[in-house]
Homo-oligomer: A and B are copies of this chain.
């Protein structure tokens, strides 16, 4: 599932290297699609910014000026209600686009907040330049359409789970997704590389932290998972899948 591009052993420390073809950029499908010279041009219009835990990339309500791509690390998209409850809509990984969406078209503002989960690096581009690039590159536009379509399907699948499933089923769904999207092999099963506390998980599936803790404890007792945020391992993916789709 995970393709890992071969890479020389040099470290990806480049802060913003001479805008050539630095490491890490080949994880971004949208850029791969462009011709070498268009890619060069686009990279010239993009700025790389680093964030760490506690920062905000943007907040709900901020004006939408930029188009973004995750280069390194994970970013969470969050919405909050007036009484302080939060829900995490999506965890973006390297290569994910954000604000490619329509809120960026008219003068609208961001419908949610984007927060780094740990150290991240994000590429940004003025939305005017982004639109211009899309108009000039039908392949890039098609890629964005494909990407947005996938995101839409994903969001609708998530809505279905929230609408129909019990808390334990939702958590099982989440774990299955995590295993597929950010899992690596581990002697005891599949290790989830994104670091998520029980509270994070709770916010992702629309339950309280206590409920997430209780259910995860049950999963642990039933040998479906082990460990917590720092080292979460899925031990029985098929049973989780079964529970998720019951």
Contacts and interface: CB of A to CB of B under 8 A. Distances in A.
Interface of A: 77, 79, 81-83, 85, 87, 89-90, 100-105, 111-112, 131, 134-136, 138, 141-142, 144-153, 155-160, 162-165, 205-206, 245-246
Contact of A101 (B82, B90, B152): B152
Given A87-B163, A148-B149, A153-B101, A131 B135 contact: no
A135 B145 contact: no
A155 to B, nearest CB: 4
Nearest to A155: B155
Nearest to A141: B141
Given A102-B153, A103-B153, A135-B138, A79 B146 contact: no
B105 A153 contact: no
Given A135-B138, A145-B148, A149-B104, A82 B206 contact: no
